[in-house]
Structure 1
């Protein structure tokens, strides 16, 4: 049955000679996998494979059957062509990290329009920001944790949960104040952090996610993100 939905491209793998299998988080159906034929062919028009780069926002018409793990696309186009996200080093590094985490934490279940809207708004914020996005990844993970069911109500609760799991997170006053700001205020609210404080909080957040989702494992993009945005 043909269905319309919006989606967020997360990753893809090569499939046969000219096709891919793309993982997309959709508004209507949650996490889905789609066969996309011919996009790796020399004859493919308009570089369609670019539509499936990480975090691309998609408008799709799909063939959907709830008893299948692999679906097909009828139509696909971008909802919002990116002008900065794939091209600016800091933003593309953040996007790489965010995409890796989303691939690890989003599940194959019914769609969540509220979560989808949060993800779209966050991606558009990063795309459109010209300043005050150096802490985006920190604020994003904190806010996403509430949708996943383990968001901390305060910096004190965050620190307490880490200590209970034998992770020695002892932030200074500036880092603790920044953590409360990132938790409670909208994306882009200034939360001054030193390079050391930003890296310390980033490492603590990854551990916090690993405590609550034991399948996360190693986050391969973490060293690159530390280097670029630390």
Structure 2
């Protein structure tokens, strides 16, 4: 049955000679995998593989069958053409890290329009931001945790959960203030963190996710993100 849905491109792997299998978080059906034929061929029109770069917002018409793990796309176009995200080194590095984390934590194969709207709004903020986005990945993980069922209510709760699981996180007053701002304020709120503090909080957030989701394992994009953004 043909159905319309919006989606966020997460990743893709090569499939046979000219095709890919794309993972997309959709508004109507949750996390789905789609076979896309011919996008790696020299004859492919309009560079369609670019539609599946990390965090691309998609408008799709898909063949959805509940008894299948792989689906097909009838029509696809970008929902919002990016002008900065793929071309700005800092933003694209953040996008790679965020989509790696989403690939690890999103499992549900059912629609969740509220979560999709959060993802879309966050992506649009990052695309359109000219400044105050250096903490985007930290704020994003803190806010995403609420949709996954383990969001901390305060910096103190975040700290206590880490300590209870033997992670040595000892934030000072400035760090606690920054954490509470990121938890309670929207993306783009000015939060002052030094490079070392940003890296410390990033490591603590990844550890926090690993405590709650056993399957996360190694985050391969983490060293690059530390180097580029800190």
Normalized against structure 2, the TM-score is what? Answer: 0.99
In 1: Cα distance, 2:224 partner to 2:171 partner: 23
| Paired residues, number | 230
2:215 is aligned to: 215
In 2: Cα distance, 1:94 partner to 1:31 partner: 21
In 2: Cα distance, 1:191 partner to 1:177 partner: 9
Tell me the secondary structure at the aligned position of residue 74 of structure 1: strand
Query: Unmatched 5+ residue regions in structure 1?
Result: none
Normalized against structure 1, the TM-score is what? Answer: 0.99
1:143 aligns to 2:143 (yes or no): yes
In 1: Cα distance, 2:13 partner to 2:135 partner: 30
Taking the TM superposition and a 5 Å limit, the aligned residue runs for 1:8-157 are 8-157=8-157
CA shift for structure 1 position 103? 0.2
For the 8 Å contact 1:32–1:108, the answer to whether it is kept is no
Give the root-mean-square deviation of aligned CA atoms.
Answer: 0.5
* Structure 1 ranges of 4+ moved more than 2 A: none
CA shift for structure 1 position 86? 0.5
In 1: Cα distance, 2:28 partner to 2:194 partner: 41
CA shift for structure 1 position 173? 1.2
CA shift for structure 1 position 108? 3.5
CA shift for structure 1 position 40? 0.5
1:4 is aligned to: 4
